[in-house]
Amino acid sequence: MRQKRMNKMNLEQQVLEVIKNRRSIRRYKPHPVPREKIELLIEAARWAPSGENAQPWRFIVIEDSGKIKAIGKIAGMADRRQFSAEFAAGETEERLKKIRDPKKRQKIMEKLTGGHVSSFLENAPLIIIVCGRKDVWDLPYDCSAAIENILIMAVAAGLGTCWVESPVMDVRDEEKIKEMLQIPKNFKVLTAISVGYPDESPKPRPRLPRDDLVFYESFGRRETNV
């Protein structure tokens, strides 16, 4: 059905459709991701733009369940630390103030402080670790472009992904991951991307209204001359 609709669309509409259909997927079917699909994701990443065409990125494809579990554990612990610190500082109330239902708020609070946000990584069939050369100025921008290409290509390939910063947010965790994966000292770990066949269809998360984001000729000017 979706394929039929896609066939009728022109290229612009198809690309936008793929972009809009991307969601962060955190629940996966247990099936492995076929090799040719992994290659497709890496090929998309390889064609991302980078400052001075430095291409500082490297991708480590991980299917070993022991390593995946270890990365998920690190991510869960990191979330627990971060959200507990936020809670202690009284920031969680502010973050959740729009949620009126006290039961729902409590549930989210427990999920955050219990380290259950990013620990889903443990159950992903595949993780791609994105790391890159520290000596390249534009490293975070370059790698972000490559990561987004992976996420978008995954949608077209029928896969789900999630960009997960948690396991490398803290430099001590990053060091653990570098050691586990034998990543050289002169490389920085940017992120983990979980990949698999989706076992959930989350609703789109809200986006800010277009008019709040776009200005013409100067910041804050909403009308265009054309």
Ligand X SMILES: Cc1cc2nc3c(=O)[nH]c(=O)nc-3n(C[C@H](O)[C@H](O)[C@H](O)COP(=O)(O)O)c2cc1C
Measured distance CA(164)–CA(71) in Å, rounded = 11
Question: Which one among 48, 71, 112, 117 touches ligand X, defined by CB under 6 A?
Answer: 117
Q: Tell me: does residue 163 bind ligand X (CB under 6 A).
A: yes
Element (H, E) at 40: helix 35-46
Among 41, 155, 164, 177, binds ligand X (CB under 6 A): 164
- Is the Cβ of residue 159 or residue 162 nearer to ligand X in the bound state? 162
Start-end of H helices in 89-206: 91-95, 102-113, 139-156, 166-169, 171-181
Residue closer to ligand X (CB basis): 185 or 203: 203
Choose one: 8-16, 102-110, 124-132, 156-164; the region binding ligand X (CB under 6 A).
Answer: 156-164
The DSSP bridge partners found for residue 191 are: 130
Kindly state whether residue 166 participates in binding ligand X, applying the rule CB under 6 A: yes
Considering only the stretches 7-15, 61-69, 128-136, 161-169, report the one whose residues sit in contact with ligand X under the rule CB under 6 A.
161-169
Instruction: Return the residue of 68, 124, 127, 162 that touches ligand X, per CB under 6 A.
Output: 162
Q: Which residues pair with 59 in a beta bridge?
A: 130
> What does the alpha-carbon distance between residue 11 and residue 144 come to, in Å, rounded to a whole number?
24
